[in-house]
Structure 1
Amino acid sequence: MMDLYLRVGSVTDKDVMLEVESYIIAFALHCFDHQPVKVHYYMEVLEVTPLIHCCPAILDGWTKTDRPDSIVCTQKCPVTLVSKSERLTVLGLCSILRATLYKSSTKDSSNIASKLLGFRQGCLMAPAEASVWTQFCEVDMPDALKAILEWHGDRWSIPIALLRFDVHLSLPARIHNVRKRAQELSLCDSSPSTNVLGLSDNLHTYAEGPDMVLSDLILFSLFSVFRNLCGTDILNQNIPRVMEWYRKCVQVEPKFNKVSEMVLKVKKLKFSKVEIPTFEEQSIYKRDPRRYKPSNRIFTRQEDVDQVLGMFPIDVMIPYTEKEEKGYQLEWNSLSRHITPHDYLPTKRLERKMQQLENMVSAVMNLCQPGSIIVDFCSGGGHLGIILAALLPSNTVILVENKEESLKRARQRAMSAHIRNLDFYQSNLDYFDRPFDIGMALHACGMASDLVLQKCISHQASFVICPCCYGSVSPANSAVYPQSQKFKRYISGSEYIVLAHSADQTHDEEHPKTLQGRLCMQAVDSDRLFSAEELGYAVQLSRMTPPGSSPKDHVLVGIFSKL
């Protein structure tokens, strides 16, 4: 059985104060017919975080404990799911609920848990970093509730997240096999000639279509608090479709409302005026064409590239460190085929993948000391991390990956090869906060390379990073470009994005754009390394050997050297 550790703000005989994410998971667990995990709660003083006022019944059947040292817990992630036997830790609201639902559904296929996982058990499978819908359920709506929990004054603005959800429910549902579902609901006849266009307009009963799924449970738990805080009159007037959805959920699954009444002690707020903010009406589905306006896209024009490259002297960039032409070579035949890429990649890609792994392994082993904790960020199927774990049995290697299926494959491969010094974290980068000595990432896409770099710097850990997809970087709360003070003297954020887009023009050596693309790659990665150097790191930029190992062949190395 897996263990779930839940952080609690305070507990008395009459009250329990929970963070929003802790409340959502506690609410969900009380809705399940079977408890698939052992729940432990521990108390920490939470002075800044918005808290939800709950009844003591929300902790019924759970065990009070002290927080174990091994438990990763941040402000963004107050709940941790652990399987000690599998050395697996799951972080993040949707990932934890999916894992819990899966465990519950295997025990009793007739209960609500098996239905909430949805079609092919795919509901909210994609991580928030890749899915607009998962981000809405895991980040946007919880943040909207946190904002109202901190509200003071007499004017209140309805959260844009609620307004977006109301618009979302008015749009056609995006579901598999529209004709079959419409026939099951008697919305059309069984004739194969029936036009399916327009059928999905009538299927948006719940958050994702005609079936109640995990997203409905998450949103219902949040909306129950909104409803208690705001009252039904304001909500009926401004978000009628959401209120209709809420009533349908109560009607079909009365247990949701029963749990809400059992656990919540939230009192209604008083507003003298309610404001409706303006917002762009887009679907919360990822592929809404209204989200991709040509006027908002960045196109790389040659005159822009020439202008930006002329803004700073070429010699300001970090020069390449020369490496031995042959480079480091692994004894592939001495490794179990379960952990090498031989059985997982086509022959065309195999040689280059082996060369990439050799370069990364060599750089990490040059930094590694006995007992060092090594983290493979954005680990995918674990090609790099599992090999290093096999080569360094006295070290602990941690695989951090937000995609459920990729990490599952990595765990299966490690188990088949009988490797015991691996820990697995299903987690977004910003949720992971365990101490480590070396961080590495092979072809972490776009801004992910910058997030890995930031994570290593925040832990004063050494790093080995091979970036990829330079053109997909974009300014965000977690990454501002340029990153280094040195590059900020020469170019602006928009000019930096031109460089990043051009850095993806690394084609074959004969292509006329390749030289320019490589120059832009060197500029972007110099900025990354300067940002680390300015914070006390000794840095190095090199290229993989042999030439042709990868179009994205930069290896960024940093060692923390001073405060």
Structure 2
Amino acid sequence: MMDQDILYLLGRKEEGNLLVPAETLVALFTLQYCQNSAVDVVIVLKKELHVSPTTDDCKPESRDNSEEKWFPVDVDCIVFPISFKELSECPSMVSNCVLPVIVMSSDAWCVAGLCSSLRVMLIKTVKKYPTHYCKKLLGFRGGCMQACAEVSVWTKFCEIEVVNTLKEVHYDKVIRDGKLYLPKDILRFENHFQFPPILHNGLKIKQQYIRDTVKDRTERQRLLSLKLSELPEMEHEYAEGLNMTMADVMLFTCFHIFVSKMKNQVCFDDMCPLVMKWYRLLCENEYIKHSLSLLQKTTEIHNPFQDNILEVIVPEVQRESLYNSDPERYKPRWRAFTHQDDIDKVLEILGCSSIDPSYDNHPLGDSITLPWSEYPGALSPQEGQLPQSRLERKCQQLDNIVSAVMSMVNEGDVIVDFCAGGGHVGIILAYLLPSCKILLVENKDHSLKRAKQRVDTLKLKNVEYLQCNLDYFQGTFDLGVCLHACGVATDLVMQKCFEQKAKFVCCPCCYGGVRPNHILEYPRSKTYKDIPLTLEDYLILGHTSDQTHDENNPKTEQGQLCMRFIDNDRLLLAQSLGYSTKLVLMQPKSCSPKNHLLLGVIEN
């Protein structure tokens, strides 16, 4: 078992069947498609389920994993070995994350999340079998769904929204008052197909398509002489364009159940003809055909959709692509958020309130200047591939972070370095605090690999690596820290600390990146909501906060004021949850334009 990496999935055994939540069903179908032999698969038998909060109130409505409604799978149809373990028998990293989780056999390293764990499985398969047919599923340059759901509309759709819709359909939540409410994600996918695919190497792909399909030689030569912008748009064949990817397999799992359960109520060919064209194309794929037995028990169970003819309620859905980078997707123009008249209006609203966004001039603990020249070379940020031009300022930032942590930490604490990157913060803390356990949480594998190289050189034994989005970390810890967590990441980090009543040391960045998502809403605090400050007002405040260029720029002072207002809102939320907080300006101020430290300790 230890020769291979292990994929941990949630489930339970019942009368020869396997009952699994939606995320496990999608993962098992993808593994079945690939005829997995690259990772070992363990079903974690756990009654208290891994559920990640999806709202500020920590209510798991959109990740309902009620065992009574889990999906049945015939164990005998699974073409790869599986084993079963209680959670207590699994490595601690498994309980630190929302399943699925892959734990590496040779390192204190795990990868969590549905898309991320399946990507790793595919990468391991291709590494073991270089000519394996599933290599194409990784997409152009292996980038299929590499971006996390917090920032990618497409990943969020495939990993969260459609999977949640699968639960709603399976749990019969789309039937209300004798009516069937067609899930909007089915129509969103239909609209997605109406937009041309975004092509990498577009000219080359279109020219090859012309060579393969245009028989008339004269017409073929004419088309081949045209520029890319002059060539006709191509149509989707698969979810991401002209080639089948992991997204197709994941989405097929869900849409096969949608079609199977609702086909007697919904005329899918009329409602979403492009989705059905895609669906039938996949149904002809030989590996999809061989994998369908895994879904058979789910599609055979009693179907309330067949009992009566229901009125179908079709939602209104905005016509848009599901690609973040689609040029036709509506995006608020960032320039609109930095018109001075708008900024003045928001600052006037805040100025008339009783809010005082001032700094605390008394940081927690004594200031520390670390003796970098006396430390091993691998401890320096320069070893994390930091450019020389930024080295001094990065060391100053770390001096401030370490100073704050040292004033708050207790012996034996578990410290999480969120958005760890190359490990600049976590590694120095692991070196200075050998009695503490340091968890590096980062979703980019190349960054974590740089951190691991430095940790191995320093022979540190108190570091673990969790490659996952913030949303999928749910471990128990005592102190959370982040340096320049961009946009919503700072609020996600603070939310994780709130859930654990953990201390926090946060240095925010990219204030213009704050925006509502499936976890957070803005403003953060009741105080700011009651002013009232609208979402548009808040976005203006965030974008203006990024106008902190240098002391000689006339916009800098205004930007710093807006930074203070945003961070004051964050700390007011913390205070409402029982925290004692401070807003500290890092020293020297020139160490970064984003030089705020947010400190919080839960009051007894």
> Normalising to structure 2: TM-score of the pair?
0.86
Alignment match, 1:129 = 150
Q: Give runs of aligned pairs for residues 200-349 of structure 1, distance below 5 A.
A: 201-202=233-234, 204-231=236-263, 234-251=267-284, 253-265=285-297, 266-267=299-300, 268=303, 269-270=305-306, 271-294=309-332, 298-300=337-339, 301-313=342-354, 316-322=356-362, 327-343=367-383, 344-349=385-390
Alignment partner for residue 75 of structure 2, among 56, 61, 69? 56
Q: Is the counterpart of residue 85 in structure 1 residue 106 in structure 2?
A: yes
453-462 or 494-503, which deviates more: 494-503
Letter in 2 for 1:355: Q
Does the 8 A contact of 1:327 with 1:545 survive in 2? Answer: no
Alignment match, 1:366 = 407
- Alignment coverage as a number of residue pairs: 558
Secondary structure in 2 matching 1:138:
helix
Does the 8 A contact of 1:378 with 1:400 survive in 2? Answer: yes
Secondary structure in 1 matching 2:233:
helix
C-alpha distance in structure 1 between counterparts of 2:518 and 2:40, whole Å: 36
123-132 or 509-518, which deviates more: 509-518
Secondary structure in 1 matching 2:464:
strand
Q: Deviations over 1:322-358 (max 9, x none)?
A: 4599942222223333342225222322221111111
Letter in 2 for 1:236: D
CA gap of 1:380–1:309, structure 2 versus 1, over 3 A, is same
> Which runs of 5 or more structure 2 residues have no equivalent in the other structure?
50-64, 215-219
Alignment match, 1:173 = 197
Does the 8 A contact of 1:175 with 1:208 survive in 2? Answer: no
Does the 8 A contact of 2:46 with 2:86 survive in 1? Answer: no
Q: CA deviation at 1:73?
A: 5.3
C-alpha distance in structure 2 between counterparts of 1:466 and 1:534, whole Å: 20
Letter in 1 for 2:509: C
Does the 8 A contact of 1:305 with 1:502 survive in 2? Answer: no
C-alpha distance in structure 2 between counterparts of 1:293 and 1:4, whole Å: 38
Alignment match, 2:22 = 20
C-alpha distance in structure 2 between counterparts of 1:131 and 1:477, whole Å: 12
Q: CA deviation at 1:237?
A: 2.2
222-231 or 339-348, which deviates more: 339-348
> Which runs of 5 or more structure 1 residues have no equivalent in the other structure?
none
Structural RMSD (CA): 2.7
Q: CA deviation at 1:203?
A: 5.0
89-98 or 332-341, which deviates more: 332-341
Alignment match, 1:94 = 115
Q: CA deviation at 1:483?
A: 2.8
Does the 8 A contact of 1:325 with 1:545 survive in 2? Answer: no
Q: Give runs of aligned pairs for residues 152-163 of structure 1, distance below 5 A.
A: 152-153=175-176, 154-163=178-187
Q: Percent identity?
A: 37
Alignment match, 1:556 = 598
Does the 8 A contact of 1:4 with 1:81 survive in 2? Answer: yes
C-alpha distance in structure 2 between counterparts of 1:156 and 1:435, whole Å: 41
Alignment match, 1:6 = 9
CA gap of 1:101–1:293, structure 2 versus 1, over 3 A, is closer
C-alpha distance in structure 2 between counterparts of 1:139 and 1:324, whole Å: 40
Q: Deviations over 1:503-548 (max 9, x none)?
A: 2232322233322322222222222222222222222221111121
Does the 8 A contact of 1:41 with 1:65 survive in 2? Answer: yes
Q: Is the counterpart of residue 544 in structure 1 residue 586 in structure 2?
A: yes
Secondary structure in 2 matching 1:279:
coil
Secondary structure in 2 matching 1:425:
strand
Letter in 2 for 1:79: P
C-alpha distance in structure 1 between counterparts of 2:540 and 2:246, whole Å: 40
Does the 8 A contact of 1:401 with 1:428 survive in 2? Answer: yes
CA gap of 1:198–1:88, structure 2 versus 1, over 3 A, is farther
Q: Deviations over 1:403-442 (max 9, x none)?
A: 2332233233333443332111111112111101110011
C-alpha distance in structure 2 between counterparts of 1:78 and 1:294, whole Å: 35
Alignment match, 2:217 = none
Q: CA deviation at 1:51?
A: 2.4
